[in-house]
Amino acid sequence: MTRKVLVTGGSGGIGKAVAARFRRAGDTVVITGRDGARLAVAAKEIDAEPIACDAADPLQVQELADALGAELDVLVNMAGGNTDFGRPRASSLHEVAESWRANLDANLLSAVLTTTAVLDKLRPGGTVINVGSIGAEYAGSGYGAAKAALHAWTAGLSAEIGPRGLTANLVSPGYIEATDFFHGRLTEKRREALIAATHTGRAGNPDDVAATVEFLASQGARHITGQTVHVNGGAHTTR
């Protein structure tokens, strides 16, 4: 059976690698992003269908849901990023509120809105895969706290949709290179420190995450739900 897959934030970085993997497996893949021109280029490159959408905007998310068609099998909530990058350090409470709300919108509300909008389309056997971050383990910023909330919400979502034959999990990447996540601001010293924190001695790459997402959407993962799956080379360990 050909599956229908939606990857938000599929126009670059990890999302594009995830979308390309599903497409290579023969699935029908829809990708989203805010920058329509970039989205169109990515869609052509990987043979996906582009629908421009800001996942943090309820109106745009409703339009996306309306355009999707009646049925969906896999939702990957990849859209997100640290909205503090490039923003001057908050010097007033107003700015603190602004920066935290931006990260909550980008990383938590984006997934909640998209999932809510398409939930009724998911067929039995379907899955929701949210994308968190190793930053959730330390949560010393709006970004980390938003991702931590996304981790927690995923567990509740799993309980809610499990009875319908659906699963929900979260993939939590560590440092992944070859993305625009750091907006070119990652210093060599910080990069070396991120790699030194791993047991594998290397940065992750988008396909490391894509392979894990592909597995969680596969038949072999039908009894895995409500979990956080870490893809970080051992930089944060669990038991």
Ligand X SMILES: NC(=O)c1ccc[n+]([C@@H]2O[C@H](COP(=O)([O-])OP(=O)(O)OC[C@H]3O[C@@H](n4cnc5c(N)ncnc54)[C@H](OP(=O)(O)O)[C@@H]3O)[C@@H](O)[C@H]2O)c1
Residues at the site binding ligand X, with contacts judged by CB under 6 A = 8-9, 11-15, 32-35, 38, 53-56, 78-81, 106, 110, 131, 133-134, 173, 175-176, 179-181
Shortest distance (Å) from residue 95 CB to ligand X: 20
> What is the C-alpha separation between 155 and 170, in angstroms, rounded?
9
Shortest distance (Å) from residue 237 CB to ligand X: 16
The residues carrying an active-site annotation are 143
Shortest distance (Å) from residue 191 CB to ligand X: 10
Closest to ligand X by CB, 6 or 119 = 6
Residue pair 150/132 in contact by the 8 Å Cβ criterion = yes
Local structure of residue 8 (DSSP, 8 states): E
Measure CA 228 to chain center: 13
Closest to ligand X by CB, 45 or 180 = 180
Closest to ligand X by CB, 212 or 220 = 212
Token pair belonging to 155: 């567990």
Residue 12 to residues 157, 190, 228: CA-CA distances in angstroms?
Answer: 27, 23, 23
Closest to ligand X by CB, 127 or 181 = 181
* Residue 139 backbone phi and psi in degrees, to 5: 45, 40
70-81 in b/e form (b: 16+ CB < 10 A) is: eebbbbbbbbbb
Shortest distance (Å) from residue 79 CB to ligand X: 4
Which candidate, 109, 101, 208, 217, places its Cα nearest to that of 168?
217
